[in-house]
Structure 1
Amino acid sequence: MTKLTIIIPTFNEEEFIAQAIRSAAFADEILIIDSYSEDRTLEIAGQHTVTVCQREFDDFSSQKNYAIDQARHDWIFILDADEVIMPGLREEIISELLKEDTCSAYEVGTVRMFMGREMQYGTAKNDTKTLLFNRKHCRFGNKLVHENLVVKGKTGALKNHIMHYTYRGFDHFIGKKNHYAWLQAREMFATGKKANLFHILVKPAFRFFSEYILKRGFMDGFPGFVSAYINSYGVMTRYIKLWLLQHKQK
């Protein structure tokens, strides 16, 4: 089989890191790229056969590109610390890497667990990411958040999925949205975009309507409402932060 490195980015992931590592144990190398965690993440990771490198976090794309350069093998799978490779996906990856004719990269479906519920509607529906790839043909672009993998060649799709545990407490979830909002605001500010009342008042409302009504987030019960509401909050704070950057405030 072609050798595989699974890269796991971490920062204060003590709650989930062990299960992520266990699900990645079939790989030839597990590489932890840590942003100087302040909890027990590295202590727990050290109980497993992993390689650890540390780097100050600046943005998601740079962090992952740095880790890709440290990997021992050309085939890479990016696994967030709050994600788990399900058994079916593990077997599919092994089977795919045994083939002589492979794509440059592969999209993988995501099942999202939120507030104890497996989400099936809203933004969780048809959620896929390009996670398995050959680094000879792929590199992350310059987006600071929701980073995009630039692929030279054909992208295939795997049938099985990862499980993503997106919720570990309300304060953490809000903090994550605020962190993403600052990165997105910086990205927009760098391209000359400006925030106005339309962005702050209308776009968040439409985001909620789109996720909760058009994409039927209401079918996921109360967690579906919370997800749509907090995601609309994330849109609002993104543009508020952009306005603050425009006016040299924090």
Structure 2
Amino acid sequence: MKNQFYILNTKLYVKMSTKISALLITYNEEKNIQRYLNNVDFADEIIIVDSYSTDKTEQIALQNPKVKFVKRKFDDFTNQRNYSISLANNEWITFFDADEGIPDELKEEIISTINNNPQFDAYFVYRKFFFKNKHIQYTGMQNDKAIRVFRKSKSQYRLDRMVHEIVECKGEVGFLKHKLDHYTFDNEQEYLAKLNSYSKLRAQELHLKKLVPSFFHYNIKPAYRFLSYYIFRLGFLDGKEGYTISKLHAISVANRYRYLDDIYREEKSKTSIKIEV
């Protein structure tokens, strides 16, 4: 294969000699999609699986000739991601989120690693967490990481997780040195809405495990989540943002069990209706 070149940080770099597929799942990501497309310009194909966005996500994405835009009804994050993997034509995959930025140093490292007989079959990437445009250095985010680069033939997302998905790799897993930038929300309402969407899926997981919530789940677990983030994981060092993040995560834990209660009540209601009939 002939070498291809592109400019990065005013330097000339060899483009990937090993083809790579950049995957993304989306729903109303018009504010992030262009940055993502710019970040993965090294990929040979960009596959976006969209949950029927109602904003300009599709319009912006399709301006890029590398993009294959596929619509699929959302059921859970794991299924959405594994479906995306099934569409990839290449062995090596990157699977970043739309709210994650890939700095030039990380991009260069990905290219260099995959071009030079990779030692591992999947790679963790550490994340720099931003909230309200502030870099959060503590509050449980010190060691935040996720597998973002992996071989298709040896990796898929674990089927027992609907949210907070985990890549299961049948091979060796390593770490990239450079971090990605994880941009979260600019206000509390949006961030809590995101956490609550995760809590609803987590409640479905717990329902499948037949967990019945108790006083411990309603009161102790949310309190512990707050103390864990704000005290044990040094959230107080992040100032008011550390307090806010700790509080919102505690609320989302409490809501998780309220959502689980709702599932059981709905089941009971349906059973009652059937008996009456």
TM-score (normalised: structure 1): 0.96
Give the secondary structure class of the aligned counterpart of 2:220.
helix
Q: Which runs of 5 or more structure 2 residues have no equivalent in the other structure?
A: 1-16, 270-277
Give the drift of 1:41: 0.9
**Structure 2 equivalent of residue 36 of structure 1:** 52
Contact 1:14 1:40 in 2 (8 A): yes
Give the drift of 1:48: 2.1
**Structure 1 equivalent of residue 9 of structure 2:** none
Taking the aligned partners of 2:88 and 2:206, their CA distance within structure 1 comes to 31
TM-score (normalised: structure 2): 0.87
Correspondence 1:22 to 2:33: no
Aligned residues: 250
Contact 2:49 2:84 in 1 (8 A): yes
Code of the residue aligned with 1:6 in structure 2: it is A
Code of the residue aligned with 2:116 in structure 1: it is K
Contact 1:196 1:243 in 2 (8 A): no
Code of the residue aligned with 1:16 in structure 2: it is N
Q: Which runs of 5 or more structure 1 residues have no equivalent in the other structure?
A: none
Q: How does 1:78-227 map to 2 (within 5 A)?
A: 78-142=95-159, 143-227=161-245
For residues 82-105 of structure 1, give each alpha carbon's deviation from its aligned partner in whole angstroms, at most 9, with x where no partner exists: 111111110111111112243110
For residues 53-109 of structure 1, give each alpha carbon's deviation from its aligned partner in whole angstroms, at most 9, with x where no partner exists: 110000011001101111121111111111111111101111111122431100001
Taking the aligned partners of 1:9 and 1:115, their CA distance within structure 2 comes to 23
Give the secondary structure class of the aligned counterpart of 1:156.
strand
For residues 129-184 of structure 1, give each alpha carbon's deviation from its aligned partner in whole angstroms, at most 9, with x where no partner exists: 01110010011111100011111010010001111111143332122112111100
Code of the residue aligned with 1:85 in structure 2: it is I
Give the secondary structure class of the aligned counterpart of 1:12.
coil
Give the secondary structure class of the aligned counterpart of 1:111.
strand
**Structure 2 equivalent of residue 240 of structure 1:** 258
For residues 158-211 of structure 1, give each alpha carbon's deviation from its aligned partner in whole angstroms, at most 9, with x where no partner exists: 001111111143332122112111100000100111111111111101100010
Give the drift of 1:221: 1.2
**Structure 2 equivalent of residue 13 of structure 1:** 29
User: Over aligned residue pairs, what C-alpha RMSD do you find?
Assistant: 1.3
Mark the CA change 1:168 to 1:43 in structure 2 (over 3 Å): closer, same or farther: farther
Taking the aligned partners of 2:20 and 2:262, their CA distance within structure 1 comes to 43
Q: How does 1:66-85 map to 2 (within 5 A)?
A: 66-85=83-102
Code of the residue aligned with 1:201 in structure 2: it is N
Structure 1 runs (4+) deviating above 3 angstroms are none
Contact 2:156 2:168 in 1 (8 A): yes
Taking the aligned partners of 1:45 and 1:196, their CA distance within structure 2 comes to 46
Taking the aligned partners of 1:147 and 1:119, their CA distance within structure 2 comes to 22
Q: Which has the higher contact order (CA 8 A, sep 6+)?
A: 1
Question: Based on CA coordinates, which of the two structures has the bigger radius of gyration?
Answer: 2
